[in-house]
Structure 1
Amino acid sequence: MTTMRDAVDLESAVEALNAARSVTILCHVQPDADTVGSGLALALVLHRRGIPVWVSFAEPAELPESMRSLPGVHHLVAPGDVPAEVDLLVAVDCGSAGRLGALADRMSGAANTLVLDHHRSNTRFGSINVIDAGAESTTSLIVRLLDAWGVPIDAEVAHCLYAGLVTDTGSFRWVRPGTHELAERLLATGIDSAEIARALLDTHPFGWLTMLSRVLSTAQLEPGVHGGIGLVYAVVRREDIAGVSSEEAESVIDIVRTTSEAGIAAVFKQSSSVADRWTVSLRARDSRPGADDGVDVAEIATALGGGGHRFAAGYTAYGNPDDLVAGLLAALG
């Protein structure tokens, strides 16, 4: 691997993309709309320039239903179809090589590697690292990259970029100055924002309701955690999500985190293939009346082997739920 660059280095990223004669774009495991939207937007641009491009993620086996209407999905290939060797490998929205799952081995066959991400906990695992922890989403970073590249953003590319923006900002609940201007720029291409949001955020199968009824019955509140900020958590066992997709399980955290008595939320999700492996999603509020300034869940997740953002993070752990909860409580203090 060549010398690592840690700054937001758009010029070097553009040079790498211009020089590449073949490109693999890897999204993180259990992909969301930010990683897939970023990958497909780049793939659309590269394909139009005549560059062979492959987009993939290690797991699950299929793209979640909510993202199948994104333009450029025909560029997605199964993990086994990702070339072993390529001019440039681009990792989008991945805080570490571990987030690539089984596809992390493709990095060794790439002449150059480019990491595009907005996670503060990013480990800078590429040859070129374009990391902006202040960016609302990785897709918003892709907009800046395309501008630096001199590539116009049309409706297809904007659709992919808007998908990541609307989901990673929680439907624009978590924004910064300029976020709405970016959204307006993307909307001006003619994309249907209501339909994009409906597909990504407001559509679930009936089985989701019965899954929720089982999972939410496990919810527990620990009001004294972290100086009175409080923790609420729930457990998703493999039998709870039989018959529903992994993205339905991912959505549980967005309901659990609405608990008013807790500033921290966690959902423990059992692996479908390894009984003692669990993925843990963490969420935090900015602050809560009567509590201190909150908690940085990215620090907690990083200490437990994961990573993420201040208000949204996650990690993988092994054991039984009681031990996992005890470990999280100990980390929170």
Structure 2
Amino acid sequence: MTDDPDSPAGDALGGEPSGPAAADWAAAVDAVRRLTPDARVLLICHVNPDGDALGSMLGFGLGLRTLGLRGVQATFPGPPEVPEPFRGLPGLDLLVPAAEAYPDPDLVLCFDAASESRLGELVDRLAVTAPTVVLDHHASHTGFGDIHLVDPRAAATSVVAEELLTRLDVPLDAAIAECLYVALATDTGSFRFDATTPEVHRMAARLLATGIRPGEISRRIFDTRPFGAVRLYGDVLARTRLEPAAAGGHGFVWTYATLADLARHDQRPYVLEPLIDSVRCTAEADVSGVLKQIAEDGWAVSLRSKGAVDVSRVAVALGGGGHRFAAGFTGRGTAQDVVARIRAELDTALIRTVDRD
């Protein structure tokens, strides 16, 4: 995640998060129902899309098709490459490269993007006269767009997407359900994270009732990776560092992966996304971090917490965003430079938490 910190909401400010207002739900439903069958509808998710971004967007796009809308496009900024684990998702035929997306759509819907910066070259689509409906669950959402369906209490953006589909009277079928299930499962860590509430399981039950096969989906999404990625993980995990005194004594464990690592093992950047799970299991650290090199002096940073530290405060302070337990930002400099900034902000975040309490 590389969300901007401007006007963060809910948890990121220390207040109680709140969901969409009734007026926003009504406005979103009205915006869709006003569309004619040939209307140009553009769905956008964030750069380097993950399971929640793609699953929510494609599931909702398939739902729009059931309403008779023929001109639905889905896209994301950057290279039009879908990560391997998600290449079996239904609805991939909705995808078009960013360069081919409607320049003047009749309606824009954004998924899982907490700030405009996450939309890259597609941000100009928000400047058209068409309304923009934003579906998101990040506490650090900046408030861009016209109609805000932003619920920091939701475990995934797919929760918001399913609710809007329900309000549009779109019945769940297996294709829509598979997309939403992948989104829900990925953002809850296969239903292991603290965001896994009773309502999350009730939603999963509704999706499973359509006949989708969770075992097959989980093997494809979570339990399959190239042999080169396994070797790459070995190299990267071998340089992991544990700092027990960091984060006020709660502990900080981190590692980094370089572009040279990827090239040496002939791997694409997406294979690094699950790496944080191998680091966060360290018993001696509450906070974990993985730095993934994206340029000579640029790093995509993933942060996780087991609960003692609010990593969204760290990420927001460093130009990113996210949630209490999972957040991220883009860092500049050497890996050691970026880690030093994280280390300093961890202590600052703890001071802020004490002041709030």
Amino acid at match of 2:20: A
CA contact (8 A) 1:89 1:110 kept: no
Amino acid at match of 1:17: V
CA contact (8 A) 2:116 2:144 kept: yes
Q: Secondary structure at the match of 1:151?
A: coil
Offset of 1:156 from its aligned partner? 0.7
- Picking from 58, 71, 77, the partner of 1:40 is 58
Structure 2 unmatched ranges of 5 or more: 1-18, 348-357
* CA RMSD, Structure 1 to Structure 2 (Å): 1.3
- CA–CA distance in structure 2, aligned partners of residues 50 and 327 of structure 1: 48
Where does residue 52 of structure 1 map in the other structure? 71
Where does residue 100 of structure 1 map in the other structure? 119
Determine what percentage of the aligned residue pairs are the same residue: 44
- CA–CA distance in structure 2, aligned partners of residues 103 and 173 of structure 1: 34
Taking a change above 3 Å as real, the CA distance of residues 38 and 220 of structure 1, as seen in their structure-2 partners, is: same
Q: Which moved more, 1:13-22 or 1:90-99?
A: 13-22
Where does residue 173 of structure 1 map in the other structure? 192
CA contact (8 A) 2:252 2:285 kept: yes
Offset of 1:198 from its aligned partner? 1.0
**RCO greater where, 1 or 2, for CA within 8 Å and sep 6 or more?**
2
CA contact (8 A) 2:45 2:76 kept: yes
CA contact (8 A) 2:79 2:97 kept: no
Q: Deviations over 1:237-257 (max 9, x none)?
A: 101112112221112111111
Q: Secondary structure at the match of 1:178?
A: helix
Offset of 1:23 from its aligned partner? 1.1
Query: How many pairs align?
Result: 319
- CA–CA distance in structure 2, aligned partners of residues 240 and 251 of structure 1: 16
Amino acid at match of 1:301: A
Where does residue 33 of structure 2 map in the other structure? 18
Q: Which moved more, 1:124-133 or 1:241-250?
A: 241-250
- CA–CA distance in structure 2, aligned partners of residues 36 and 99 of structure 1: 14
- Picking from 265, 281, 285, the partner of 2:306 is 285
- CA–CA distance in structure 2, aligned partners of residues 194 and 60 of structure 1: 30
- Picking from 279, 285, 299, the partner of 2:313 is 299
Q: Deviations over 1:34-93 (max 9, x none)?
A: 110111111112223124111111134310111111111000111111121111111101
Q: Mapping of 1:54-133 within 5 angstroms?
A: 54-133=73-152
User: In the alignment, is residue 7 of structure 1 matched against residue 20 of structure 2?
Assistant: yes
Q: Secondary structure at the match of 1:86?
A: coil
- CA–CA distance in structure 1, aligned partners of residues 63 and 116 of structure 2: 24
Q: 4+ runs of 1 displaced by more than 4 Å?
A: none
- CA–CA distance in structure 2, aligned partners of residues 143 and 55 of structure 1: 17
Q: Secondary structure at the match of 1:11?
A: helix
